[in-house]
Structure 1
Amino acid sequence: MVSSNGNHAEPTFLVFGKSGWIGGLVGDLLKQQGAKFEFATARLEDRAGVLADVERVKPTHVLNAAGLTGRPNVDWCEDHKIETIRVNVLGMLNLADICFSKGIHLTTYATGCIFHYDKDFPENSGKGFKEEDKPNFTGSYYSYTKAMVESLLSEYPNILVLRVRMPIVGDLLYPRNFITKIIKYDKIVNIPNSMTVLPELLPYSIEMARRGLTGIMNYTNPGAISHNEIMELYKQYIDPEFKWSNFTIEEQAKVIKAPRSNNLLDTKRIEGEFPQILGIRESLIKHVFEPNATHADKVRAEVRQMRGR
């Protein structure tokens, strides 16, 4: 955005998702950067409210971290399909259309859980799904709606869609952290996946918005890491006596309502924008396990309590 005197105007950010996990982290980052921003007050499905927020704040950039994933997990969406449509489809399109009509750049934190390994993209082959590949996973209703809306959003020239996967933060006791989820279980599946280390990648998303990037971005660290490899890192840095076992996808299916996505995403685009990005293992060590090792006793004690040990 350029002001009338020819100078670049200071970006103004409007953030949707104040009460959510990623939205709160985005707000914290903008505050740390001294950026001009406000949180939205409207829910995405309230088009009049969204428009009022946009007209009130007059943003140059909108960052959307609002959406419906379900609690405690995406299985919730299987029994609440109308609510899921209202937010993830109608609500997202409300925001996209308003931003387009107002000439505002929109970045939305979406999902990469719309793909799964198959004969063309075999597990452990190193072949990742690219931004232009069509989603091939609709096993959960959550993923079904997200794949549908991604296709629609791709028609808008002002939108950057970030495919987040299995998001991870440094706090190993935070319940929505992917690592926190799996270390609570005695049994886990063991499949390599692309993942998003938020302490490293969230600042990149704000910079992407400033750069005006659009289209789809696979928003994960390069490479894949398996559940067992993460458990081994936890054992190495936090708890040498940590134990777990594996079960198959078929066995997992008996305890969940909807299948889960497992995939590797190609990261050439994000690596082109940020050559310094760390591979997933290196990023986990730097941003998660090394910091937690400084207070391993506390983490170990609380995790053991969560596991009833």
Structure 2
Amino acid sequence: GKTNIDWCEQNKLECFEVNVLGADNIAQACQKLGVYLIHLSSGCIFESKSAEQSFSEEDLPNPLCFYAWTKVWGDNLLMDRATRHGLKVLILRPRQLLSSMVSPRNALTKMLTYTKFIDTDNSCTVVEDLMFATDELIKQQATGIYNVSNPGITSPYKIAQKLKEIIKPEMQLEVISKEDLNKMTLAIRIDTVLKTDKLEKAGVHLRDLNERLPEIINDLKENLAKGGSEAAMAETEKETAAKLSYAGKQ
């Protein structure tokens, strides 16, 4: 799927074709062949007005950007196929993916190239834990929609503090408001806190986010030290520069 939310704002037709029509095309093929479909959606279809406002799988989405809308439309089409045509589908909704992998798609890698951060709390999903949860749900042949995030919440600024402490002592950190952040981006950034009661009732228990965060950052540090990550970091820095260039035109 297409996940760069600023790109999706500029390329709405292609975003719709991939995230909505593409998902439904795959679902249609799985339906015809009787294949179990695992679909990766997103938790950013919900906006939490505060850290106390959290959302379950049954809550009505309130998407604020085009990317989030495409994820809602895709989920709805797949669940309609499940209800009316017997599609066996598992839809996973992670939020703010964090990983030890050096990649432009990893939020931690991106943050290493930032200097300005908001300090509002969100749910996050450690990718390595998402893989574990997915495997456990597949073993159960689970169907329907599941929020998948680590228990606990944190903010981009708090994550950046850990990155500075563990990986990049010279990192400059500045707290900005969400209003200022939205002036720097094409798509509106949202805060999301997910409920994971359904996942836990299925017997899938992930470790607390604030316990996992130092571990995953230390693993990222080791991967950066191994070498071979220069291309990924260069691409990440290029993308950050492009974002700053857009912000400078506002």
* Distance (whole Å) between structure 1 residues aligned to residue 146 and residue 70 of structure 2: 18
Query: What is the CA-CA distance between 1:130 and the residue it aligns to?
Result: 0.1
User: Match for 1:82 among 13, 17, 30?
Assistant: 13
* Distance (whole Å) between structure 2 residues aligned to residue 95 and residue 239 of structure 1: 42
Report the secondary structure of 1:161's partner residue.
Answer: strand
- CA deviation map 1:80-110 (0-9, x unaligned): 2211121111111111122123222111111
Identity of aligned residues (%): 33
User: Match for 2:66 among 137, 141, 144?
Assistant: 141
Q: Which residue of 1 aligns with 2:109?
A: 180
Q: Which residue of 1 aligns with 2:187?
A: 258
Report the secondary structure of 1:265's partner residue.
Answer: coil
- CA deviation map 1:162-220 (0-9, x unaligned): 0021111103x422110111221111222211111111221321231232101100011
User: Match for 2:94 among 159, 164, 167?
Assistant: 164
User: Match for 2:2 among 68, 71, 93?
Assistant: 68
* Distance (whole Å) between structure 2 residues aligned to residue 82 and residue 272 of structure 1: 38
Q: Which residue of 1 aligns with 2:144?
A: 215
Q: Which residue of 2 aligns with 1:17?
A: none
Comparing 234-243 with 277-286, greater Cα deviation is found at: 234-243
* Distance (whole Å) between structure 1 residues aligned to residue 103 and residue 147 of structure 2: 24
In 2 relative to 1, CA 235–144 (structure 1 residues): closer, same or farther, beyond 3 Å?
same
- Contact kept in structure 2, 1:191 and 1:226, CA below 8 Å: yes
User: Match for 2:51 among 124, 132, 139?
Assistant: 124
Higher helix share: 2
Gapped regions of structure 1 (runs ≥ 5)? 1-66
Query: What is the CA-CA distance between 1:236 and the residue it aligns to?
Result: 2.5
Report the secondary structure of 2:40's partner residue.
Answer: strand
* Distance (whole Å) between structure 2 residues aligned to residue 268 and residue 213 of structure 1: 15
Query: What is the CA-CA distance between 1:295 and the residue it aligns to?
Result: 7.4
Report the secondary structure of 1:284's partner residue.
Answer: helix
- Contact kept in structure 1, 2:57 and 2:146, CA below 8 Å: yes
**Aligned pairs for 1:93-108 within 5 A:** 93-108=24-39
Q: Which residue of 2 aligns with 1:203?
A: 132
**For the pair shown, which has the larger CA radius of gyration, 1 or 2?**
1
TM-score (norm 1): 0.67
User: Match for 1:154 among 57, 76, 79?
Assistant: 79
Greater relative contact order: 1 or 2 (C-alpha under 8 angstroms, separation 6 or more)?
2
* Distance (whole Å) between structure 2 residues aligned to residue 75 and residue 295 of structure 1: 28
Report the secondary structure of 2:97's partner residue.
Answer: coil
Give the paired residue count.
Answer: 230
In 2 relative to 1, CA 258–292 (structure 1 residues): closer, same or farther, beyond 3 Å?
closer
* Distance (whole Å) between structure 1 residues aligned to residue 221 and residue 126 of structure 2: 17
Q: Which residue of 1 aligns with 2:46?
A: 115
Gapped regions of structure 2 (runs ≥ 5)? 242-250
Q: Which residue of 1 aligns with 2:217?
A: 289
- Contact kept in structure 2, 1:221 and 1:279, CA below 8 Å: yes
Q: CA RMSD in A?
A: 2.7
Structure 1 counterpart of 2:34, which letter?
Answer: G
- Contact kept in structure 2, 1:220 and 1:265, CA below 8 Å: yes
TM-score (norm 2): 0.82
